[in-house]
Amino acid sequence: MKKNQILCAACGAALIGAATVACNDSARKNPFLEPYTTPYEIPPFDKITYDDYLPALEAGIAQHQAQIDSIVANPETPTFENTILALDRSGEILDKVVAVFSNLDESNSSPEMVEIAEKFYPMLSQHSDQTSMNERLFERVKYLYDHPELGYAKDQRRMIEETYKDFTRNGALLDDAAKEQLMAINSELTDLYLQFNKNLLNATNSFEIVVEDSTRLAGLPASSIAVAAEEAAKRNLGEGKWVFTLHAPSRLPLLQYADDRDLRREMYQGYTTLASSGQYDNNPVISKILIARAKKAALLGYENFGAYMTDKVMAKTVDAAQNLLMQIWRPAVKKVAEEVAEMQAVVDENGGGFSIEPWDYYYYAEKVRQKKYDLDESKVREYFALDSVRNGIFSMAERLYGVKFTEMPDAPKYYDEVTVYDVTDAATGEHVAVFMTDYFPRESKRQGAWMSEFKGSWLNDDGTSSRPVIFNVGNFSRPTADAPALLTLDEVETMFHEFGHGLHGMLSRARYKGQSGTNVDRDFVELPSQIHEHWALEPELLKTYARHYKTGEVIPDELIAKLQASATHNQGFATAELAGAALLDLEFGKLNTTDSVDVAAFESRVAQQLGMPSQLTFRYRAPYFKHVFGSDGYASGYYTYLWAEVLDTDGFELFKEKGIFDPATAKAFKENVLEKGGSEDPMVLYVNFRGHEPSVDALLRNRGLEPVPAIDLKPKSGK
């Protein structure tokens, strides 16, 4: 059951006291079992030890169970307040410990965390199952669901409906024997996700390319060479050696700039075979996940796992998602053919004597960019120091939404590279949120970039708002001895993207925690993140933050013009690998299998059916497709990035029409999207902002692809 808890204070006092006594035996108190006394209730990271997690989880589960028992024992007729709201406000301890452990497990893991996780997540999964299958609790929820005439407000009625659906999707309607089967499947999946993530992290960290001949570094930016030298020194390999890893700031510049074709091939093959064989092979794990998911879907009455996952979001069906993707896939593949022809011409002009292979794509795409637009991204990076880009995102937020960011140097943080900000209303000084940033790669952090929260937001009974603690995590290019962190254009867009998620969490004004911030349909959650990417290279904002890291010179108009002219460069590749991965994910979701799956062969069949160009592959192959197999969060849901892009490109066209900082348009987006969270149907929220439903045409225009007939995005009736 999807559950976001808030404490009902009276329910857990005795349990907190009992747990505190246990802690006193070791002469200290568990930080999770007491109110945080830190500024704005930031977790007291410096006081939390490994030994605190499991006892706090046990206390949190006990407290939450007592609160649920209190709800179901209430002799009064069910009401929103004594059932739905009470459930939404339950589990303060559980909220606190889960938020800290699950987030640090992703961003600052360790062998100790891995060991704790093997007990932590199964315990949490078992408790979640017991809650979602609690018959007496479900009876109260069902009573409210069956009586719409009770006349609750829109957000309350939606919360009743969503809570009912969560219960039924998690087995509330099953008989006892089927519930036991479902709990066993969920437990198995929890263990499999843990194994997948462990394998992926270990496989990523175990891969390295050691270069001992400096001539092989030809073409690489000085910053990339410096980072590789520092990595070699960190590994005690001595002078005259350079180490490249699979982390994006190391991998991507090598693929884009290294003249040594064999070096590019080694990196590409290392990445695309990640966790695919040997000690950390994820293929057997994926096969077991697919079998377990098929069993789960069948048990709950769905045709397949894809149908189960899409039923709860805007798309409603796998067919609707595939319909959208194919309208994007076909023009993208056509564009890839044009891009490859341009790259092959460069190869031939220089007497290369070979055909473009996948490890050539980034490299020759950059050569074509330089030739067509006289644009060298390694030079462009000099205007995008990380601190400058951070100034840009903060300036955007202040101009659009009237919020300011002030650093809190003494605030608690979970790692020394984290920066913490107090977010306030620029006009009144009112506290809005806490925002943290954690931007550089390390072995303890998984790949990618994301937003999450250590504390959500909600409205208290007295009308005051409890404000959130939000953070962004990235794996961006590190500073070197000679230069600050200089970001690629892709990293700049990623920073704006994750900040958009952050704004969704920070600016939420939804009344209930279960509807606040990013607690929205999965295929709507990417709208706030993706729409804010558009501001990154808009001249009106760009000229306020993009400055040369050495001279302080504002980015020149000539360079801005080149950036705009090349905006759709290589979009065939970018779109095809993204849409391809989304289509692969949906095909995995349609599998109904009780037998072991040859994952690589399945991928090959899907690629062949799609007509995947030989010069590229899926953005993520299954063994490192963490979105899909590291949990079920984005399973049969990776398409949502493109679904949401239909919304964000259409929405940004309104900003372009009215002015990218037009106060009325910004106010409409803030009030109808960012503040509302999941309190209303997402398409209603979008139409309230935009004035109409979107079509795929704006996405294709934005990516420089040929338009195709419009897609109907109205939710279709599903199971």
Active site residues per annotation: 498
Tokens of residue 116, six digits:
């704790």
Q: Closest Cα to residue 362, out of 272, 493, 442?
A: 272
Q: Tell me how far apart the alpha carbons of residues 597 and 292 are, in angstroms, rounded to a whole number.
A: 12
Tokens of residue 20, six digits:
């505190």
DSSP state letter for 199: H
Residue appearing with tokens 């519930």? 179
- Main-chain dihedrals φ then ψ at residue 395, nearest 5 degrees: -65, -45
> What angle (nearest 5°) sits at the alpha carbon of residue 115, between those of residues 64 and 15?
25
DSSP state letter for 44: -
- Main-chain dihedrals φ then ψ at residue 221, nearest 5 degrees: -60, 150
Is residue 454 classed as helix, strand or coil in its secondary structure? strand
Q: Tell me how far apart the alpha carbons of residues 581 and 586 are, in angstroms, rounded to a whole number.
A: 9
Q: Tell me how far apart the alpha carbons of residues 160 and 457 are, in angstroms, rounded to a whole number.
A: 19
Note the helical H segments in 471-598: 489-506, 526-533, 539-545, 557-565, 571-589
Q: Closest Cα to residue 244, out of 255, 236, 476?
A: 255
Helix-strand-coil split of the chain, %, nearest 5: 60, 5, 35
Q: Tell me how far apart the alpha carbons of residues 700 and 184 are, in angstroms, rounded to a whole number.
A: 44
Which residues are 471's β-sheet partners?
Answer: 436, 452
Tokens of residue 280, six digits:
């950390």
Q: Tell me how far apart the alpha carbons of residues 697 and 649 are, in angstroms, rounded to a whole number.
A: 9
Q: Tell me how far apart the alpha carbons of residues 582 and 379 are, in angstroms, rounded to a whole number.
A: 33
Sign of the CA dihedral with 526 first, then 418, 116, and 475 last: positive
What does DSSP say about strands 469-473 and 431-438: parallel, antiparallel, or unpaired?
parallel
Q: Tell me how far apart the alpha carbons of residues 691 and 694 are, in angstroms, rounded to a whole number.
A: 9
DSSP state letter for 173: T
